[in-house]
Chains A and B, each alone.
Chain A
């Protein structure tokens, strides 16, 4: 479990660094959480508030490995794109330009997370092309869970909060691997931990 924690840690730290570079500001990250969540209790973790989710499928050596998600509340999403686009109105509706900017941020962060995780694990993980939704967060996560390849009653979420105080941005990077992907993680990490 310590090794899994390290995996989440390395991925999130790299994502945080890229976000910090993108915003030219300090980005802090929470202690990465690894949660096993029964799907019946998903709503205890992710509610029906409006949020932007940039979603990528995990691809590479594992064809349908699960998902990685850049999650940002609607309010924070405006703060983020305002910072990037040089705008100031915090109450404006999101436009196509914002959507492109959010996808770009998600892309950069998901790639950073997966690059770092892949390097630790020693196998290739690349993000699929992105899909963006700005809608109820629970509805989006539920739709992804319903599409997972393996029949499951529980999902494992690698979740880390990334926040930028200067621009009032609060976001999460969440990895939700398939069961078979998790098994591969465990095998690789076990090998790494073995004394030589």
Chain B
């Protein structure tokens, strides 16, 4: 049985473009086309979470967590510097919805975000263990490193479920 303790702690709220590393619960609320990416280290029982908004940084460096191409290396390097090994990482992601098909100036940002995350992880020889992406609905994602790296996803009218 998992300890329910971690659920009672206030989660760290991760805003658009922000990230956090540690063992406390973390949460990214109301993801539309954004991606919530959680990486958990089974050995050290810590993790990192980032709230990605766009696929490409195009050379911008001020907010690495905002873009898929810089956010993934950011988390991997941060965890690596803390002594985490690639082989013990569990990666989960959620988000990447398309809520407004009509305003299609930038064709499906959500899908492009998810593809970029997958591509950069693949370059680093890391596979995704679980994902819940796409569709038309928003999601709130929570990550509990102390609870075996549990990741839950909730939609507007649903209860949270584990992925």
Contact = CB atoms under 8 A, between A and B. Distances in A.
A129 B102 contact: yes
Given A42-B15, A136-B138, A142-B53, A48 B30 contact: yes
Interface string B2-23: 0000000000010111100000
Interface in B88-121: 97-103, 105-106, 109-110
Contacts of A146: 32-34, 53-54, 106, 109
A55 interface: yes
- Interface SS of chain A: mixed
- Interface SS of chain B: loop
Given A138-B138, A143-B97, A41 B34 contact: no
Contacts, number: 115
Interface string A57-94: 10000001000000000000000000000000000000
Size bracket of the A interface: 20 to 34
Given A144-B100, A144-B103, A147-B103, 7 more contacts: A40-B17, A55-B100, A136-B30, A138-B29, A139-B138, A142-B33, A145-B53
A143 B17 contact: no
Interface of B: 13, 15-18, 29-34, 53-54, 60, 62-63, 97-103, 105-106, 109-110, 136-140, 155-157
Contacts of B99: 133, 135, 139-140, 143
Given A142-B53, A143-B32, A48 B140 contact: yes
A128 B105 CA distance: 13
Interface of A: 38-43, 46-48, 50, 55, 57, 64, 128-129, 131, 133-147, 149, 151, 153
B106 to A, nearest CB: 5
